[in-house]
Structures are given as structure tokens and as C-alpha cells.
């Protein structure tokens, strides 16, 4: 393999079309100016942070990055709900991550590894608490006699067929019966 110049990548993510990446882009540009870094690759996407990184542009970007490369993000939460995995894998590959708002630099240093572990632990606790609160709220609604879930028959037959086709779970007889 030929040696290549290190990649300095910026990753910008918003969760919905109603949000804009302009503020994040401005922060990255200002940070790079102060640090004398030049962005060689921009990666932007509109996607929920709950979606797996392998199903996002982020996954593609992380596969391209190698030892000595730099990933710049505006804040740790822009990576993913399961950011610990991303940070850990990046540290193992020798990729440095700069998180601008928090002022964190994740690299192979022991301080970075401790910080990444603490973040991961906090994120795991938060996910557990959210799940617990959701289960409690659903149980409370059931106890009040409120019917949960999608109303029966609210999914049109065409949509049902379309969903089964997308899921690769289509049998002609099933779909004919659904119509």
C-alpha cells in the first residue's frame, strides 16, 4: 500500500430535515483555523443517532479512516447513541477524534481511554433509564385501560405489501389474502 497524506475529516449530522448543519460547519471551520488543520473530507447526513453507524455515512467514513487520520465533530452526541463503540474503535485504529464543544481529544493516551470509558458508562446508564421509564409509562397506560399500539387495520393493504416486499417477506398467497 502506498503511503497517503493523513485525512482530516469533518462529520456533521442532524436528526431531521428541519435542522441545518450550517452552525456545525461554521464551528468546524473556526476550530480548524485555530488548530491550523485543513479539512480534506466532509461527511454530512440527516439521520437519527439511534441508527447503527454501519447503516449510515458515518460507517463508510470510519472504514476509510486509518492510523494518523483525524475526525472532527462538533459534539460527542453527533456520533451516535452508542458512541463508545465508535470512539473505542477509532482509538484502536490510531484515529484522533476532536470534539469541539466539549474540547475533548480522543487518541491513544490513557486519559482519552478513561474519558471514553466514562462516556460509554454514562450513555449505557442513560439508555437503561430511558428504557425503564418507557416500560413504566406503558405499564401505567395499560393499567388505565388505554389500548396501546397501532389501531387494527390502519395499515393499508398496499402499504402492507410494500413493507413485506422491502422486508423480503413476501409470499404471493399471503399478499393476495391481505388484499
For residues 73 and 14, the answer to whether their CB atoms sit within 8 Å is: no
Chain centre to alpha carbon of residue 35: 26
Q: What is the pLDDT of residue 175?
A: 46
pLDDT (average), residues 96-118: 90
pLDDT value at 57 more than 60: yes
Q: What is the pLDDT of residue 162?
A: 64
pLDDT (average), residues 92-103: 92
Q: What is the pLDDT of residue 7?
A: 95
pLDDT value at 46 more than 80: yes
> If residue 135 lies in a helix (H) or strand (E), which one and from where to where?
helix 110-143
For residues 75 and 119, the answer to whether their CB atoms sit within 8 Å is: no
15 part of the active site = yes
Q: Which three cell numbers stand for residue 139?
A: 405499564
pLDDT digits (tens, 9 = 90+) for 140-156: 999 999 888 877 766 55
Chain centre to alpha carbon of residue 173: 38
pLDDT (average), residues 72-90: 79
* Catalytic, out of 15, 90, 99, 108: 15
pTM, entire model:
0.66
85-91-93 Cα angle (round to 5): 100
Q: Residue 137: how many CB atoms within 10 A of its CB?
A: 10
What pLDDT band is residue 80 in, cutting at 50, 70 and 90? low
If we measure between CA atoms, which residue out of 27, 19, 68, 65 comes closest to residue 45? Answer: 19
pLDDT value at 15 more than 60: yes
Amino acid at each position: 500500500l502506498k503511503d497517503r497524506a493523513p485525512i482530516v475529516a469533518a462529520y456533521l449530522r442532524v436528526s431531521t430535515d428541519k435542522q441545518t448543519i450550517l452552525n456545525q460547519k461554521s464551528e468546524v471551520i473556526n476550530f480548524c483555523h485555530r488548530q491550523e488543520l485543513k479539512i480534506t473530507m466532509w461527511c454530512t447526513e440527516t439521520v437519527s443517532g439511534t441508527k447503527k453507524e454501519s447503516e449510515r455515512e458515518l460507517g463508510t467514513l470510519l472504514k476509510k479512516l486509518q492510523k494518523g487520520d483525524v475526525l472532527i465533530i462538533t459534539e460527542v452526541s453527533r456520533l451516535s447513541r452508542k458512541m463508545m463503540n465508535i470512539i473505542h474503535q477509532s482509538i484502536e485504529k490510531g484515529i484522533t477524534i476532536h470534539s469541539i464543544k466539549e474540547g475533548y481529544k480522543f487518541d491513544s493516551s490513557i486519559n482519552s481511554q478513561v474519558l471514553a470509558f466514562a462516556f460509554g458508562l454514562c450513555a449505557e446508564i442513560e439508555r437503561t433509564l430511558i428504557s425503564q421509564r418507557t416500560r413504566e409509562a406503558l405499564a401505567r397506560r395499560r393499567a388505565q385501560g388505554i389500548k396501546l399500539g397501532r389501531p387494527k387495520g390502519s395499515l393499508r393493504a398496499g402499504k402492507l405489501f410494500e413493507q413485506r416486499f422491502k422486508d423480503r417477506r413476501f409470499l404471493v398467497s399471503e399478499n393476495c389474502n391481505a388484499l
